C-alpha cells in the first residue's frame, strides 16, 4: 500500500510518498500555497499542490495507485475539500482522502502520532491546538493576520514596522530597525513603505520575513527588537496556557508536553526563552519538547491511519 502526505504551507509545499510494503519513501518540495479565500489564493494553492505532486511522481516513474492521502492546508474550509481532491486526482488515483487544516498533521508529526501534547504553531500565523484520544479538539488563536496571530512572524514584522515609523517620527524609542528596514525595502522613507503597503507591493510574507531582521537586530544588542521578540514569546506562552485551561475545564487529563513548531521559535534567546518562562510560571511541571518529525510525516501517518494502518515511522523518516 502506498500513502501520500501533503503539507501545504506559505513557505513551501512538502510531499511524501511512502510504500508500506517495500518501506521506501520519497520526499519532494514545491511552491508555497496561500489561503483559499479568493481566486488568487485558490490558483496559488493549486499550483503548489500539483507542481509538488508532479515532481514526486517523476521519482517513481509515473502514475501510482495511492491507498490513502492526507492533505494539510492552513485556513482550509470544508467547501474546498472536493476542489483539492480534484487537483490530486488529475495526477494520481487515490482511494481514500483526509483533508484538514494544518494543526492536526503538525501535531501528528511533532508527537510521532501519539498526540500527547499541546501544539503551538508560530510561523506566518500562530495557533494553539490539542486533540485528545476521543477526538475532542481544543484550539486557541488561529484568527489570521487581521484579527490575531499574536506571536507570529507576521505580527513581529508588523510591530517592527510600526515601531520604526514611531522612531522616524520622533515619537518612539530609538532602534536600529528604522534604518535596517529602509535598506531592506530599498526605499528612502517610510512614506515609500506606506505606498508599497497600501498598493500591496509588499506581501504578508514579506512582512513576516521582517522577523528575521528583528532577531538579528536583537542579537546585535537592539533593545526594542529584544522587547518585540520577548513580547511575541509571552504571547505564544499565553496561547499554550489558554489551550491547557480549556482542557482542564473539559475535565479530562491535562497533557504535560508542549510542542513548539514554526520558524519563530528559531529565536531561541528571545522568543523561545520568553515562551518557556511564561509557561513555567503557570505550569512548572510542563515538558517543552522539540517536534519529533515534520508535518509532512504527520500527514503520512494520518493517511495510513485513515485505513487502519500503523506505519514504521523510524523507517519512514530514514529514507
- Residue 141 near residue 150, CB atoms below 8 Å: yes
Nearest CA-CA partner of 145 in 34, 275, 31: 34
* Per-residue pLDDT at 315 exceeds 70: no
Please tell me the pTM assigned to this model.
0.87
What is the side-by-side order of every strand in the sheet holding 24-30? 24-30, 13-19, 2-8, 65-73, 93-100
Predicted local distance difference test score (pLDDT) of residue 224: 97
Predicted local distance difference test score (pLDDT) of residue 241: 96
Q: CA 166, CA 26: separation in Å to the nearest integer?
A: 49
And the C-alpha cell for 283?
A: 505550569
Its sign, for the CA torsion 131, 100, 91, 32, is negative
- Residue 287 near residue 256, CB atoms below 8 Å: yes
Q: Could you tell me what percent of the chain has a pLDDT over 70?
A: 95
121 has which bridge partners? 127, 261
- Residue 108 near residue 296, CB atoms below 8 Å: no
Average pLDDT over residues 207-224: 96
Predicted local distance difference test score (pLDDT) of residue 196: 92
Predicted local distance difference test score (pLDDT) of residue 37: 67
Q: CA 300, CA 200: separation in Å to the nearest integer?
A: 36
Domains located in the chain, CATH noted: 2-112+293-318 (3.30.420.40), 117-291 (3.30.420.40)
Q: Could you report the per-residue pLDDT of 103-146, keeping only the tens digit for each?
A: 999 999 999 988 899 999 998 889 999 998 888 899 999 888 88
What value, to the nearest 5°, has the Cα angle with vertex 149 and ends 145 and 150?
A: 130
Average pLDDT over residues 274-302: 94
* Per-residue pLDDT at 69 exceeds 90: yes
pLDDT band of 268, cuts 50, 70, 90: very high
Mean of the per-residue pLDDT values for the chain? Answer: 89
- CA 167 from chain centre, in angstroms, equals 31
Predicted local distance difference test score (pLDDT) of residue 36: 67
Greater model confidence, 205 or 315? 205
- Give CA separation, 296 vs 6, 102, 290, in Å: 6, 10, 16
Average pLDDT over residues 54-81: 81
Amino acid at each position: 500500500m502506498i500513502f501520500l502526505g501533503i503539507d501545504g504551507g506559505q513557505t513551501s509545499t512538502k510531499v511524501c510518498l511512502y510504500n508500506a510494503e517495500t518501506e521506501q519513501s520519497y520526499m519532494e518540495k514545491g511552491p508555497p500555497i496561500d489561503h483559499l479565500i479568493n481566486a488568487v489564493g485558490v490558483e496559488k494553492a493549486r499550483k503548489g499542490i500539483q507542481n509538488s505532486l508532479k515532481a514526486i511522481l517523476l521519482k517513481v516513474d509515473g502514475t501510482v495507485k495511492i491507498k490513502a492521502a492526507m492533505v494539510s492546508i492552513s485556513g482550509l474550509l470544508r467547501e474546498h475539500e472536493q476542489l483539492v481532491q480534484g487537483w490530486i486526482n488529475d495526477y494520481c488515483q487515490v482511494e481514500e482522502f483526509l483533508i484538514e487544516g494544518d494543526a492536526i498533521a503538525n501535531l501528528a508529526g511533532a508527537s510521532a502520532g501519539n498526540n500527547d501534547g499541546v501544539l503551538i504553531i508560530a510561523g506566518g500565523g500562530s495557533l494553539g491546538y490539542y486533540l485528545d484520544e476521543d477526538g475532542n479538539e481544543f484550539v486557541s488563536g488561529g484568527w489570521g493576520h487581521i484579527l490575531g496571530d499574536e506571536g507570529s512572524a507576521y505580527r513581529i514584522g508588523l510591530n517592527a514596522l510600526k515601531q520604526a515609523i514611531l522612531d522616524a517620527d520622533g515619537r518612539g524609542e530609538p532602534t536600529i530597525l528604522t534604518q535596517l528596514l529602509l535598506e531592506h525595502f530599498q526605499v528612502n522613507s517610510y512614506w515609500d513603505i506606506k505606498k508599497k503597503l497600501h498598493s500591496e507591493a509588499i506581501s504578508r510574507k514579506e512582512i513576516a520575513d521582517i522577523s528575521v531582521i528583528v532577531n538579528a537586530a536583537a542579537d546585535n544588542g537592539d533593545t526594542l527588537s529584544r522587547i518585540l521578540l520577548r513580547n511575541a514569546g509571552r504571547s505564544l506562552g499565553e496561547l499554550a496556557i489558554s489551550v491547557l485551561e480549556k482542557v482542564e475545564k473539559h475535565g479530562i487529563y491535562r497533557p504535560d508536553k508542549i510542542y513548539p513548531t514554526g520558524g519563530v521559535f528559531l529565536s531561541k534567546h528571545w522568543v523561545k526563552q520568553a515562551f518557556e518562562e511564561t509557561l513555567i510560571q503557570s505550569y512548572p511541571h510542563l515538558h517543552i519538547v522539540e517536534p519529533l518529525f515534520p508535518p509532512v510525516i504527520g500527514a503520512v501517518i494520518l493517511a495510513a491511519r485513515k485505513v487502519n494502518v500503523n506505519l514504521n515511522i523510524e523507517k519512514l523518516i530514514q529514507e
